[in-house]
């Protein structure tokens, strides 16, 4: 069988009309064009693969007994994600669980369509799952006043902090990291190449962003939660970081380097979680300073 380059495979996919125009679950939600940029899938480490877009991270884990997907990007990028998964030689139908970092449409808008296409169970925090089931952000979300609705995920399951999702040889642990959204979750697992195992962290967004009349100054409990989440990510065992938006941790540069064959693997960086936390802390402080001035 001839293996097409990923972009050629995508062009074929869209020319064949696989993207259905009357499908409610894949109706486009307008957003940053970078989030829709095609990105060739690639192996990050061991059985862990990047299947996201140019601006949104998604990770696929081959557990040996089915697949785990983390995050889903937008409704209109679902066909691209499915193409990425197939391009790596996997079957979309073998996804057993889809884990979610936050109920914002750029990370969860495609969940309903991907769950339908795979039959996978969608799992996140209880607060996040309630938002996914409703198809809209939690009322206490700092961006609640400006977020568009997204296709509801009727069967989204809520779990507790520290819950472990087990499949095949893989155990993925939920680390609650509220602040950017009330229900945000980071996920961590071990990926191995032979005897060499590394701690992988898929970190939720820790950005202090708000809309409407929301201020962090007037919501000290949200600010405290975000600070605690930043501290928590900073302290995680972390050899390899994937941040929900790759460019928030230099992931875009690492992906390009890895794709170009860089060695050693640019994603293997034990300081990455600390740097990500430091950036988020600076961003929160800048926001508080702006609100005070």
CB of 35 to Zn ion, least distance (A): 11
CB of 205 to Zn ion, least distance (A): 5
Range in contact with Zn ion (rule: CB under 5 A) among 79-87, 98-106, 114-122, 271-279? 98-106
Name the residue whose CB lies closest to Zn ion: 104
Residue 220 Rama label (left phi>0; alpha psi -120 to 50; beta): alpha
Of residues 205 through 224, those in contact with Zn ion by CB under 5 A are 205
Of residues 144 through 203, those in contact with Zn ion by CB under 5 A are none
CB of 220 to Zn ion, least distance (A): 21
Q: Which of 76, 79, 42 is nearest to 57 (CA)?
A: 42
CA–CA separation, 136 vs 214, rounded Å?
A: 17
CB of 102 to Zn ion, least distance (A): 5
Q: Which is closer to Zn ion, CB of 118 or CB of 181?
A: 181
CB of 15 to Zn ion, least distance (A): 33
CA–CA separation, 244 vs 239, rounded Å?
A: 16
CB of 71 to Zn ion, least distance (A): 11
Distance from the Cα of residue 86 to its chain's centroid: 19
How many residues bind Zn ion (CB under 5 A)? The answer is 2
Are 241 and 203 in contact, with CB atoms under 8 Å apart? yes
Range in contact with Zn ion (rule: CB under 5 A) among 78-86, 96-104, 227-235, 258-266? 96-104
Strand partners, 278: none
Range in contact with Zn ion (rule: CB under 5 A) among 100-108, 156-164, 249-257, 262-270? 100-108
Q: For the chain, where are the E strands, in sequence order? A: 42-45, 48-50, 59-62, 67-70, 95-99, 121-125, 157-159, 164-167, 170-176, 185-193, 196-203, 240-243
Residue 254 in contact with Zn ion, rule: CB under 5 A: no
Site string for Zn ion, 4-33 (x = CB under 5 A): ------------------------------
Residue 232 in contact with Zn ion, rule: CB under 5 A: no
Q: Which is closer to Zn ion, CB of 182 or CB of 250?
A: 182
Scanning the chain, the segments in alpha helix (DSSP H) are 6-15, 78-87, 105-108, 111-118, 126-134, 220-235, 251-259, 272-292
Q: Which of 10, 66, 72, 104 binds Zn ion (CB under 5 A)?
A: 104
CA–CA separation, 289 vs 293, rounded Å?
A: 6
Binding site for Zn ion (CB under 5 A): 104, 205
């Amino acid at each position: 069988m001839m293996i097409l380059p990923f972009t050629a495979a995508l062009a074929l996919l869209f020319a064949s009309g696989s993207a259905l125009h009357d499908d409610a679950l894949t109706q486009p939600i307008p957003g940053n064009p970078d989030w829709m940029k095609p990105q060739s899938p690639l192996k990050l480490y061991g059985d862990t693969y990047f299947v996201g877009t140019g601006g949104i991270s998604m990770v696929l884990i081959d557990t040996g007994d089915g697949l785990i997907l983390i995050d889903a990007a937008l409704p209109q990028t679902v066909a691209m994600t499915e193409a990425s998964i197939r391009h790596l030689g996997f079957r979309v139908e073998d996804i057993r669980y889809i884990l979610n970092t936050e109920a914002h449409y750029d990370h969860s808008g495609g969940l309903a369509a991907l769950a339908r296409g795979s039959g996978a169970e969608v799992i996140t925090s209880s607060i996040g799952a309630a938002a996914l089931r409703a198809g809209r952000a939690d009322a206490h979300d700092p961006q609640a006043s400006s977020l568009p609705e997204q296709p509801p995920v009727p069967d989204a399951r809520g779990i507790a902090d520290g819950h472990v999702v087990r499949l095949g040889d893989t155990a993925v642990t939920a680390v609650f990291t509220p602040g950017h959204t009330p229900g945000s979750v980071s996920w961590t697992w071990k990926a191995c190449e032979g005897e060499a195992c590394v701690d992988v962290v898929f970190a939720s967004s820790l950005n202090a962003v708000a809309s409407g009349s929301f201020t962090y100054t007037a919501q000290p409990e949200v600010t405290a939660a975000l600070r605690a989440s930043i501290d928590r990510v900073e302290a995680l065992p972390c050899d390899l970081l994937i941040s929900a938006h790759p460019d928030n941790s230099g992931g875009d540069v690492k992906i390009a380097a890895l794709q170009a064959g860089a060695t050693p693997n640019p994603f293997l960086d034990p300081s990455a979680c600390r740097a990500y936390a430091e950036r988020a802390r600076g961003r929160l402080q800048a926001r508080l300073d702006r609100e005070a001035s």
